[in-house]
Amino acid sequence: VNGIGERTGIVDLSTFVTATHVLDNENLKYDLKMLKSISAFVEKITGIYIYPLMPIMGDNAFTHKSGVHTDGVLKNPSTYEPFSPEMVGRERKIIVDKFAGRRAVMSKLEQYGIKATDEDLLRIIQEIKKVGDERKIVHDTDILDIAEKVLGFKAVTIPSGVDAVLFLRLEAHIYTTSVSRKIKNMKGVQKLYEMSGDEDIAIYASLKNVAELNNLIEDIRSIPGVLATSTRVVLKKYGEDNGNSC
């Protein structure tokens, strides 16, 4: 499982079983949807992190980004996927960034029930590319903000300076430290604790505004194994050299 074996490892179970299943589907009866939970369980008990670029179970295995790529997979998944991610308990993930094309952006807008004309869609894409040039990641909140401006929605005033405590609950089979590693260097994360009780991880974050907090929450929720998040905004801080403490 996960390629773990003596010295440099052995053939990964998920890769081998999936390939065998696809090549000889009629004679082999496996429930491939169990591979995800098996892989996550082994990661948890061994502490050996699943490499993001690993076939089948890696975070990037079913992630699509560039314009031509996303257009092809949305029109015909078999263009870039020899089998559906659902077959192995995974989900397809479309990333919108400065290289995104019309199809990817349209798909993202449709997720939020937003309709745009061809002209407006082009303007939205142009604004997305500007955000992508400034920073690599374009969040859903960025896309929605751009759509609001282009389509004439009423702008929302975003307060500045937000501190928050986030609590995360993970799926039972998930290795907590593997999730912590992905979060600890995210923008705004000041402190991170692995804990006992109903929640598995607590995070103290300090960000410039609510939009950045939303982006952080969105990034955390996209991590495989994160079952639920709960956010508490800090109103006052005590025990620090802070003029607003009391």
- Please identify every residue annotated as catalytic: 69
Rounded to a whole number of angstroms, the distance between the first and last alpha carbons of the chain is: 54
Tokens of 163: 């501190």
Of 112, 107, 61, give the one whose Cα is nearest residue 86.
Answer: 61
Cβ atoms of 56 and 63 closer than 8 Å? no
Tokens of 205: 């974050």
CA 184 to each of CA 67, 105, 197, 219: distance values in angstroms, whole numbers, following the listed order: 30, 29, 20, 12
DSSP character string of 6-53: STT----HHHHHHHHHHHTTTT----GGGHHHHHHHHHHHH--PPPTT
Residue type for position 187: K
